[in-house]
Amino acid sequence: MSRATETRNPLGFLDEAMAQIRADGLYRTLRVLEGEQKPEARFDHKDVINLSSNNYLGLTTHPRLREAALDAVRRLGVGSGSVRTIAGTMDLHMELERRIATFKRTEAAVVFQSGFAANAGTVSAVLGKDDLILSDELNHASIIDGARLSRATIKVFPHRDVKALERLLEETSAYPRRLVITDGVFSMDGDVAPMPAITALARAHGAIMMVDDAHASGVLGKAGRGTVDHFDLHGQVDIQVGTLSKAIGVLGGYVCGSKTLIEYLYHRARPFLFSTSHPPAVAAACLAAFDVLEQEPERIERLWSNTKRFKDGLARLGFDTGISETPITPIIVGEADLAMRFSDDLFARGVFAQGIGFPTVAKGRARLRTIVTATHTEAELDRALSTLEDVGRTLGIIR
């Protein structure tokens, strides 16, 4: 072996890539949570009002979910020991799938390890290289990756643009199979997809209709059943995806639809076939979460009253909160460095609201992304608002 080969670092190019990330001002360290995921939490040795989690209903620390998980650990251990299709399907997994199907009012449901796996695994299993995927430009990364894995042709329509979607559907009738796919609630803007119009178009053109309700489940619709319930589209949306990691407070993703769809995914969705199933504690905690959704409707009511209080406060202060209609409320400031400075100064003053810039959102539309939860107190929200006011004035974001 020559000296040159001995000393050459084949990953040396990553040093350059990281240097570029730093030069672009995009270098980030991970905020570390010390303790529980709660409305007031300790990150990086600092107590802050937490406006950055997806823990909409406060279920990450709910006593019933904890007890269910502990009981499952005591009875069943900590791991499932296999993928679902070999020896890793436990009765708890089947019970959770039946529970989710009942909740969403579909024939059947399948649980994946994450929402990401649910989207990527489903889109890539259902569509193939001769097919077409019509996708909203702000759809989640897991949809985009699933679409790429499918090798289908991908056409992106402008955000929530029903007319553009209609034109695309008219132009592409030669494809054997077409999928129309949208997020139900968009994760960076908090706006809601025009589901009735999109669903009607998909049906009129014989396309498969799929929605990703990661941010709508537990939030919109009766007892948090999602956008399909919110818009009363039961029976019209072929594939509904949801996550168990956000409002449900635990971990996982699921797909709901016909019995045939779910059986097909049991046979063809690669994360289902090739990655180990959830530990029993995860399935047990999720089951308890669905009990809580049905039995504690006041949580969703609190989520929405807190959302209104916080949004009204931001509007009164003169912040630009875009077109949000849900608990996800962006505070749009423009340039990425200003958003990051705003976020850092707020953190120093005890408010955690993540700054988000390009490429996650468009250039010039950098923002803080805030989410209030059902478990924030009014006092906490008011304190957050007054800190936002102080820091926003100091930085010239509001007058």
Catalytic residues: 187, 215, 246
| Window contacting ligand PLP (CB under 6 A); options: 109-117, 191-199, 277-285, 304-312 | 109-117
Asked whether position 212 contacts ligand PLP by CB under 6 A, the answer is yes
CA atoms within 13 A on the CB side of 350: 11
**313 CB-near residues (< 8 Å, 6+ apart):** 381, 382, 385
Whichever of 114 and 387 has its CB closer to ligand PLP, that residue is 114
Rounded CA-CA distance 213/240 in Å is 7
Q: How far apart are CA 286 and CA 70, in angstroms?
A: 13
Please state the closest distance from residue 259 (CB atom) to ligand PLP, in A: 24
142 binds ligand PLP (CB under 6 A): yes
**Shortest CB 113 distance to ligand PLP, Å:** 8
With beta carbons less than 8 A apart as the criterion, state whether 39 and 30 touch: no
Which two tokens mark 272? 């289902």
Compute the distance between CA of residue 191 and CA of residue 327 in angstroms, rounded to an integer.
Answer: 10
> Which of 187, 354 has the CB closer to ligand PLP?
187
- Which residue, 216 or 391, is less far from ligand PLP as judged by CB? 216
Contact set for ligand PLP, span 5-34 (CB under 6 A): none
**189 near ligand PLP, rule: CB under 6 A:** no
Asked whether position 254 contacts ligand PLP by CB under 6 A, the answer is no
Confirm if 239 and 121 have CB atoms less than 8 A apart.
no
SS3 155: strand
Q: Which amino acid is at 161?
A: D
User: Looking at beta carbons only, is 27 or 274 nearer to ligand PLP?
Assistant: 274
Subset of residues 168 to 187 that bind ligand PLP, contact rule: CB under 6 A: 183, 187
**Side chain identity at 270, as an amino acid letter?**
R
From 30-38, 113-121, 161-169, 202-210, give the range in contact with ligand PLP by CB under 6 A: 113-121
140 is an interface residue for ligand PLP by CB under 6 A: yes
CA separation, residue 144 to residues 198, 228, 319, 332, 358 (Å):
19, 22, 31, 25, 17
Residue closer to ligand PLP by CB (options 218, 392) is 218
Q: Identify the residue whose tokens are 């979460």.
A: 289
Residue with smaller CB distance to ligand PLP, 62 or 349: 62
Least CB distance from residue 263 to ligand PLP, whole Å? 23
Tokens 């980030």 — which residue? 28
**Residue 215 lies near ligand PLP (rule: CB under 6 A):** yes
Decide whether 325 or 389 has the Cβ nearer to ligand PLP. 325
* Nearest residue to the partner ligand PLP, using Cβ: 115
Which range, of 111-119, 194-202, 369-377, 383-391, touches ligand PLP by CB under 6 A?
A: 111-119
Number of residues in contact with ligand PLP under rule CB under 6 A = 14
CB under 8 A, 24+ apart: contacts of 307-314? 307/372, 309/378, 309/381, 310/370, 310/372, 310/381, 310/384, 310/385, 313/381, 313/382, 313/385, 314/385, 314/388
Provide the token pair at 119: 């989207």
Residue 199 beta carbon to ligand PLP: minimum distance, rounded to whole angstroms = 18
CB 120 within 8 A of CB 142: yes
Here's the x/- map for ligand PLP, 311-350, by CB under 6 A: it reads as ----------------------------------------
Q: Binder to ligand PLP among 253, 279, 355, 392 (CB under 6 A)?
A: 253
Q: How far is the CB of 251 from ligand PLP (least distance, A)?
A: 7
Contact 266, 283 (CB under 8 A): no
Residue 314: what residue type? L
Q: Which of 214, 250, 282, 300 binds ligand PLP (CB under 6 A)?
A: 214
Helix H or strand E segment including 72? helix 63-76
Per rule CB under 6 A, is residue 227 in the interface with ligand PLP?
A: no
Tell how strand 108-112 and strand 253-257 pair up: antiparallel
With H, G, I as helix, E, B as strand and everything else as coil, classify residue 106: coil
Q: Is 114 in the site for ligand PLP (CB under 6 A)?
A: yes
Nearest alpha carbon to residue 392 among 336, 328, 350, 331: 331
Q: Does 119 bind ligand PLP (CB under 6 A)?
A: yes
In the complex, the residues that contact ligand PLP under the rule CB under 6 A are 114-116, 119, 140, 142, 183, 187, 212, 214-215, 243, 245, 253
